Structure 1
Amino acid sequence: MRTLVPKHPLLLLLLLLLLLPPPTLPKWNRFGISMDGFSAEGQKAFLDYLEEIYGTGPTRPPGKKKFLQKILVEEEMPLYMDDYCSYNVMYKNVHYRHRCVPEHYFLNISYEAFENICYSRPVVCKDGSKRCRKGYLLIEGVYCILTSGARMPNCHYKSIVKTGYPVITCRWNNDIQNFIPDYIDNLVPGG
């Protein structure tokens, strides 16, 4: 009786492979990271962390608290300090997905004055769109421009004290049925 081994070695190899258990592949998440070695709690915590950093997250309505935290100056700190921007950008957690923002403003004005600007006439923004509103009162603020760094906490800014008219964007908030300040576009010199 003849054997099939010499004529069909590949067939024999395939039959032997069927006897082995299938290999287990690592579990990959949508971020392309293997989750082997993580407990169930660790996987959930790590995925939540990745979602917070890389995900777009839910669209949040603009809010007074966020605006006050990121825009208004600290009363205790003098505006003329050289590291005013570097310190406050870090302290107030101003970033975009942990990347340094190229520019930012800290202004010395009340929130109510910002709300009133939302009802002034539209003006052209720096990007050319006509979504901005210009204030009527001269205010003092600090213009921060990125000098080095790409990701938090390595962002370093040059601080420039300016006096001018604030140019801001506003967004509609459905909860309070009112426009609220959203972003400082510019501080136009008075003259």
Structure 2
Amino acid sequence: CLSLPFSFSLHFPSPFPLLPTGNMGTLINMLPLFLLFLLLKPLQFVRITDPYLSNERREELEDYLDDLYSTGPTKPPTKEAFKTHVIIDSEMPLTERSYCDQEMKMKRVHNRLYCVKEHFFLRASYEDIQEICNNMFVQCKNGIRKCHRSRGIISGVHCALKSGVMMPFCEYTSSYKMGWVFITCQWQDDIGEIIPVSVNYILAI
């Protein structure tokens, strides 16, 4: 039995109408199908009910669960998303072999719960990374998209998927990198700024 530091309630729509009392055998036969339905049906609403959690912590956990089980369209890139998923704020050494396994979970890096094949973390301020978006276009690693290359040397970690399909069973190979960073950027209308979207490559020195 897994004991969680918080409790939450899950609300599902009924997968089939109520059966008459004389059809108990039919209900029993449908039970495995119903259990499978619960496993596959996305959560429509999650509410944290632990009275000992602060409002801020409760909202953070609810947002996290909503993010995990969201079925809507892919969220557009934002400044906050890049800060959360890419900028390193931990004190763990970048050379730690388990760095990616821990940070990918802590920073909730996944694609609708599926493991991402690769990811980069950067040790730099968001402002320094955003400034790279003003640099000239260069060719990305894949030779297709347009990237911007940093003028200075930046430290980071490259995470390459080693095994696993879905969170939290994704295992990664962590590789410390130091070099020129290649990023993609996009104009964001609501804030009137060009923002970094993804890290394409770190060209090691």
User: After TM superposition, is the score higher than 0.5?
Assistant: yes
Cα RMSD, aligned residues only: 2.7
Flag the 1:119–1:98 CA change in 2: closer, same or farther, 3 A. Answer: same
1:106 correspondence with 2:121: yes
Kindly indicate whether the alpha-carbon contact (under 8 Å) linking 1:142 and 1:162 is maintained by their aligned counterparts in 2. Answer: yes
1:176-191 map, 5 Å: 176-190=191-205
Q: Secondary structure at the match of 1:180?
A: strand
Structure 2 unmatched runs, 5+ = 1-12, 19-37, 46-65
TM-score by length of 2: 0.67
**Which segment drifts farther, 99-108 or 124-133?**
124-133
Correspondence for 1:66 among 81, 86, 99: 81
Kindly indicate whether the alpha-carbon contact (under 8 Å) linking 2:42 and 2:70 is maintained by their aligned counterparts in 1. Answer: no
TM-score by length of 1: 0.71
Which residue of the partner structure matches residue 24 of structure 1? none
1:15-94 map, 5 Å: 35-36=15-16, 48=44, 53=69, 55=71, 57-58=72-73, 60-94=75-109
Q: What is the percent sequence identity of the aligned residues?
A: 38
Kindly indicate whether the alpha-carbon contact (under 8 Å) linking 2:43 and 2:69 is maintained by their aligned counterparts in 1. Answer: no
Q: Secondary structure at the match of 1:169?
A: strand
Larger-Rg structure? 1
Q: What are the superposed Cα offsets for residues 108-152 of structure 1, whole Å, 9 maximum, x if unpaired?
A: 111111111111111111222242111111011111111110110
> Aligned letter for 2:190?
D
> Aligned letter for 2:81?
K
Cα deviation for residue 47 of structure 1 reads 5.8
1:149 correspondence with 2:164: yes
Which residue of the partner structure matches residue 124 of structure 1? 139
Flag the 1:174–1:143 CA change in 2: closer, same or farther, 3 A. Answer: same
> For the residues of structure 1 that align with 2:199 and 2:169, how far apart are their CA atoms?
23
Kindly indicate whether the alpha-carbon contact (under 8 Å) linking 1:166 and 1:186 is maintained by their aligned counterparts in 2. Answer: yes
Q: Secondary structure at the match of 2:44?
A: helix
Aligned residues: 152
Flag the 1:48–1:141 CA change in 2: closer, same or farther, 3 A. Answer: same
Runs of 4 or more above 6 Å deviation: 49-52
Q: Secondary structure at the match of 1:114?
A: helix
Correspondence for 1:171 among 166, 186, 202: 186
1:135 correspondence with 2:131: no
Flag the 1:46–1:123 CA change in 2: closer, same or farther, 3 A. Answer: closer
> Aligned letter for 1:114?
I
Flag the 1:147–1:46 CA change in 2: closer, same or farther, 3 A. Answer: closer
